Amino acid sequence: MPAPGRRGPVLAAGRRDDAGHLYQRDFLGPRDRELVLAWLSGLEPLWEERFSEHFPPPPGQAQRRLLRPVWWLGNWQFACLGYYRPPRGTRDRCVRAEPFPDVLARLVARIERLVHARFAPRDVPAGWRLNTCLVNLYGNRLEDGCEVDAARVGEHRDFEPGPVASLSIGERALLQFVTPSRAGERGRVALEQWLDDGSLQVFGGERFKDRLFHRVQRVDRRGGFDLPPAMADFRTRRVNFTFRWVPDRHVVRFRDLGPEARADVRGYVERLARTSPHFRQELEAERRRGADGGPASQRP
């Protein structure tokens, strides 16, 4: 267990109770790091809007773009359809996406072994495997010639069942686990962890997954990182890969989404299809079904 301090987890009131939280600073070797960066160079991440025609903003809220561009592997959870949130929020939320590239598939196999060795069996649900990845790009957006820092994430929980694993590249980031706060109040920090370049963090169990929220408080600038992919309106200084599990029965093909959900994400899927053979095939499968007069929607 690392000593508390700059590199290890810092716990509120000096408590040493980090069962359910694991941190390995040097998880990613140099060769795999190169392969991950090469894979990132070929991406055209999507910068999604929070709402859509059929899922409009609630009264008093305006349409807005997400803070950062993202990419998903395994399944894509479009912000406008709502993120996966069992038991009720499972339908039309997880759209089958590209599989993991080889380098990430190998890293995931290592992480799964680590989880089975280090986490209590009660915290690893039957069938758990890391089949979903959210790739978050942290940095500055370029607005009217100015750079605006967008490198943070507000407090939230990840609702996919079982442990969640997070691999970081680039500038270190301060991640905090906090107690739930009421509107206008700040949550109490229960544990904070600097996530270094090449590090792995895994958290699971009742405390870290079900009770505490987590947030990215800030991302450093001292390393001078400028990471791929090159984008016209965003400079990336940190990339985080968050691996999760969505049971297969909740992952739906684009063509099998309900008509409203399909209409709302069609533009995104068309953009993804510009660089992704998977999404090109999914568009074609949907077109063929329409041409064959098949059912407009098949739901699980």
Ligand X SMILES: O=C(O)CCC(=O)C(=O)O
Applying CB under 6 A, the residues found at the interface with ligand X are 134, 136, 153, 158, 166, 173, 175, 195, 214, 216, 240, 242
Minimum separation from the CB atom of position 26 to ligand X (A): 17
- Asked if the bond preceding 295 is cis, omega within 30° of 0, the reply is no
Q: 114: closest CA among 163, 176, 168?
A: 163
Considering the complex, state which of residue 96 and residue 172 has its C-beta at the smaller distance from ligand X: 172
Nearer to ligand X, 107 or 195 (CB): 195
What is the number of alpha carbons within 13 Å of residue 26 lying toward its C-beta? 3
CA angle 253, 203, 239 (to 5 degrees): 65
Give yes or no for a contact between 269 and 282, defined as CB atoms under 8 angstroms apart: yes
Which lies closer to ligand X via its Cβ, residue 135 or residue 252? 135
Q: Report cis status (omega within 30 of 0) of the bond before 163.
A: no
Q: Given the complex with ligand X, which of 153 and 256 has the nearer CB atom? A: 153
Minimum CB distance to ligand X, residue 7 (Å) = 16
Collapsed DSSP state (helix, strand, coil) of residue 246: coil
Question: Both tokens of residue 134?
Answer: 């959210």
DSSP 8-state secondary structure symbol assigned to residue 123: G
CB of 290 vs ligand X, minimal distance in Å: 34
Q: Decide if 63 contacts 148 (C-beta within 8 A).
A: no
75 vs 240, beta carbon nearer ligand X: 240
Residue with the closest Cβ to ligand X? 240
Provide the minimum distance between the beta carbon of 242 and ligand X in the complex, in angstroms, as a whole number: 4
Q: To the nearest whole angstrom, how small is the minimum distance from the Cβ of residue 210 to ligand X?
A: 15
